[in-house]
Every structure is written in C-alpha cells, then in structure tokens.
Structure 1
Amino acid sequence: MPRLAIVTGGAGGIGAAIALELATSGHNVAILDINKQAAEETAEKICASVAREAVIAVDADIADDASCDTALKAATAHFGSVSVLVNNVGWDRILGFLETDAAFWDKVIAINLRGPIGLTHKVAPMMVEAKWGRIINIASDAGRVGSSGEAVYSACKAGIIGFSKTLAREFARANITCNAVCPGPTDTPLLHSQLGEGETGQKIYEALKRAIPMKRLGKPEDLAGMVGFLASDKASFITGQTISVSGGLTMNG
C-alpha cells in the first residue's frame, strides 16, 4: 500500500515539484495549502501525469491549529496514516529589519516556525505508532548564513534547523528520520513577488545568478529530487542533517 506524504504549501513552486516527485515515486500525497483552487489544479495535473488518483488537495492554513486538525482528518480519512511529512510552506517579504513591525514578525513566525512545529506535533504520533517515518523540513540557507532583508525569516529557518536536529535525536529509536533541506535562491513565483517586476528586482535577480557558482538559480525540481531521496528507504541512515541545495552559493566543510 502506498505511503501517505503530506506536503504543505504544495499548490505551486517548490511544493508542487515535491508533490510530483513523491507521487511519481509511488506515494499518495495530500497537498495542504491555503489556496485550495490552485492546490486542486496541481493535484489534477499530477494525477494525470502519474495515471492514478495519487494526490488530493486539502484546504489548510498552516498558522491555524484548528485548520490543520481538519486538514489532517481529511487526508488520513482518504489515504490512511501519515508516513512522510514535508513542511514546505513558507512566506516572507524582503524588508530591512527596521522597516518591519510586530505584526509582520508574528505573521512570519506563525507561517515559517510555529506552523510547522504545530503540524509536526500532530503527525509525529502516527509515525511513532508505525515505527517508521520521514520528516523533511524545508528550511533555507538564510537560516544557515543569514540573508539581508530577511532577519525574522532567517531566525525562523535557523529555528527549523535546530528543531530538525532535535527531532532526529528524539525519534531515532522509532525509525523516524528528520532532516532539513535548505534551498538557496530558487526561481519561483514567491521569489519574483519578493523582488518585484521592476528594474531593481531584475538587477537583484541577475546579481543572485552571478553569485552562484553554477551561474543559475535553483529550480523547484532541484529541491524535489533531494526530498524524494530523503523520503525513501535509501535514506534510512540519514538523519539530523542540514543539506544545502544552492548550486554552491553556500558550502559546508
């Protein structure tokens, strides 16, 4: 029986590529997204691509516990217990720290840190009971090295990295792995909305390309392949790791 994978923020961009990767590799997938219409369109395209009813769209606001409860009930009623959790959803605006305020901080923290923690707390007991699970948190290189204009977002993603390492330690004996995948600059609608459509945004886009040793921005598929691997049995001895997918923009070692 196919394992169920939850992908938050899976309606488009990196999340949609991850959902396709997991469905292609044999998983059932529940896309949890606040944009239900876009999620349904993505689910339909993936089902057509893999020639089976492998993906459903579920309306969910990651920042709202009650919404997540309802979404999980819908997903598990359709596909059974959750085996793979991909905390992919994220949101930010590029602003200098002194240009932000408490309302902005609260929104960034709710979506990028509090939401994934809350959802993981709901899903992990299913994995513990099954004695098998994969938790894959989409963090960011901003959480590893910082990023100008993304102070609170960087703090949240650093928190996700620490959260991932701690879960890896706590759940290891239950055969549950937890890893953080850190995208570098990735060509997605979110990035373009952050940069804007004007000349300044285009200059930043080109500067990002020049800074990356591979001389291109990441593609959603670049992240999806790593997530697919970490969700598989082949990655059963990999846990507590922070993996940068950035074309060499940042390097460990």
Structure 2
Amino acid sequence: MLNGKVALVTGSTSGIGLAMARALAQSGVNVMLNGLGDADEIEKTRADLAQETGQEIGYHGANMMKEDEIVDAVEQTVKTFGSIDILVNNAGIQHVSKIEDFPTAKWDAIIAINLTSAFHTTKAALPHMRKSGWGRIVNTASAHGLVASPFKSAYVAAKHGIVGFTKVTALETAGAGITCNAINPGWVRTELVERQIEATAKDKGCTVEQAAADMLAEKQPSMDFVTPEQLGGVLVFLCSPSADQITGISLSVDGGWTAR
C-alpha cells in the first residue's frame, strides 16, 4: 500500500529505528537510513536491508546536532529517490542524573538530538510534502512524553516537547494531505535499555532477568517488553490510508504504563 513512497528515518542504523526502516521497506518504501556508528557495519546493514526487501536503501550520516547536515539529509533523500513522503524522527539519546548533577553538555545534546532535530527535519521536508500533496510525519516520543520519572529531566523535557511539536505540526498541515503523529513506546528492550537493566542488576546484586522483571513491574503492567517490530507495525499503520484522518495524536504502545 506504500509502494514507491520514500522515507527518511533518523537514528535508524540499529534498534527501534532500524525496525521501523525495515517495516517501511517491507511495505514497498525506499528508505534513507541515518545514524552514527562504524562505517563498515552501517554499510552491511544498508546492503542487507536492500537485499532482504528488494527496495532501494540509502544512507546519510547527518549528525542530528548539526542543522546544516540535517537539512542536507532531507535534500539528499529527495535528490536520490525523487521525493520525501515519510519522515520518521526517531534519533535519540539518554542520560540519567539528578538535576543538580546533570551535566549541561548532556542536557544540550539530549534537547538537540531528541527534540530540535525534529524541527529541522520537519522544516526541511514540509515544502516537498506540500508540493506533492501527501506526507506522513511520525515522531518517536515515549511514555516519558506523557508522564515523568526522576533523574531523566532532559529526556522527559524533550519527549514532552516532541508531543507538543507533533500537535502543532498536525494543525499547520491539516487539510494538506499531510499528517503528523507521535508513537509513545514504553520499555523496549533495545541496547540502550539493556544497558540500564545491566546497570541495575549490578547495583542490586541480582540477575539481569530479575532486574528486567523489576523494571517492568514498576512501570509496565503488561509485564512484557514492547518489541521494535511492533513499533514498526504501528508506524506502517500510521502511514496507511486507514490513518488518513489520524493526526496530532500520541499513540501509546506501553503495556498500560500511562493508563495508571
């Protein structure tokens, strides 16, 4: 149903972003990957995804803290594939610390990558979407875009900001054939979360699996992790004709976390 569409997915060389890119490619979308990492590993990821899906898969190494590189990623997507129909703002980083101990540089980086980069990509992509009369913008927010947890001030602030930015984008594009929505995952067992689990296990002197169970028990009533593949499926739905009139929402995929 999305055959021939073109997507830019930020932060898509691993984890949630890669699963989202794969889900789009499996639905007939040509995808521009983005992310930082080892060049050889990224090229293998790109080539494997292209072979697996039969779609054209590109890569742009834009640093999501640099506006000029972000704008170039959008423009190179259009130049390479002829359009940009789907924009997925997924890039993100995390740091955990009390406010009074929170490094200013970490705050600035989290706000830049998790929030401000979405403004730059959206600003650059919207003229192309308006010209074609169709577009889908999907922002990866978080349960922390709706509720808070201690020691995550920058992340919570950025994700609340993404939710607000999603609503404004939806209002400004209403009636133009463009929608903008946010996906709010709960705990997803990515490499980032795995590191948090391992650190907790070390601090508590328990097994990794017990630490994981304790993490779920505290926040996620389903007692099960969200999978990256499930988030990819939600993304494809939001890009589908069934979601033509869904815009400005924050869709929670959190096992009941924010239902409390």
Letter of the structure 1 residue corresponding to residue 259 of structure 2: M
1:145 positional shift: 0.6
1:162 positional shift: 0.5
Moved more, 218-227 or 27-36: 27-36
* Structure-1 separation of matches of 2:132 and 2:75: 17
Alignment match, 1:156: 158
SS in 2 for 1:174: coil
- Which of 218, 234, 256 is the aligned partner of 1:226? 234
| Matched-pair contact (CA < 8 Å) for 2:143–2:257 | no
Moved more, 188-197 or 228-237: 188-197
Alignment match, 1:44: 47
Alignment match, 2:246: 238
SS in 2 for 1:173: coil
Alignment match, 2:96: 94
1:195 positional shift: 4.2
Residues matched between the structures, number: 251
* Structure-1 separation of matches of 2:42 and 2:5: 20
- Which of 197, 216, 237 is the aligned partner of 2:224? 216
1:126 positional shift: 0.6
1:200 partnered with 2:203? yes
- TM-score relative to the length of structure 2: 0.91
Letter of the structure 1 residue corresponding to residue 226 of structure 2: G
Greater than 6 Å deviation, 4+ residue runs: none
**Can you list the C-alpha shifts for 1:105-126, whole angstroms capped at 9, x where unaligned?**
1111111111111111111111
Query: Gaps spanning 5+ residues in structure 1: where?
Result: none
- Which of 167, 170, 177 is the aligned partner of 1:168? 170
**Identity of aligned pairs, percent?**
35
Alignment match, 2:255: 247
Alignment match, 1:116: 118
**Can you list the C-alpha shifts for 1:116-159, whole angstroms capped at 9, x where unaligned?**
11111111111111111000000111120112221111011001
Letter of the structure 2 residue corresponding to residue 98 of structure 1: E
Aligned ranges for residues 25-64 of structure 1 at < 5 Å? 25-35=27-37, 37=39, 38-50=41-53, 52-64=54-66
| Matched-pair contact (CA < 8 Å) for 1:244–1:251 | no
* Structure-2 separation of matches of 1:149 and 1:205: 19
* Structure-1 separation of matches of 2:239 and 2:42: 21
* Structure-2 separation of matches of 1:36 and 1:67: 18
Query: Gaps spanning 5+ residues in structure 2: where?
Result: none
* Structure-1 separation of matches of 2:82 and 2:148: 39
Letter of the structure 1 residue corresponding to residue 43 of structure 2: E
Alignment match, 2:145: 143
**Can you list the C-alpha shifts for 1:173-214, whole angstroms capped at 9, x where unaligned?**
211100011010110011123444552373542212224222
1:36 positional shift: 6.1
| Matched-pair contact (CA < 8 Å) for 1:208–1:217 | no
1:2 partnered with 2:9? no
Letter of the structure 2 residue corresponding to residue 225 of structure 1: G
* Structure-2 separation of matches of 1:60 and 1:34: 8
SS in 2 for 1:118: helix
| Matched-pair contact (CA < 8 Å) for 1:3–1:83 | yes
SS in 2 for 1:214: coil
* Structure-1 separation of matches of 2:165 and 2:188: 23
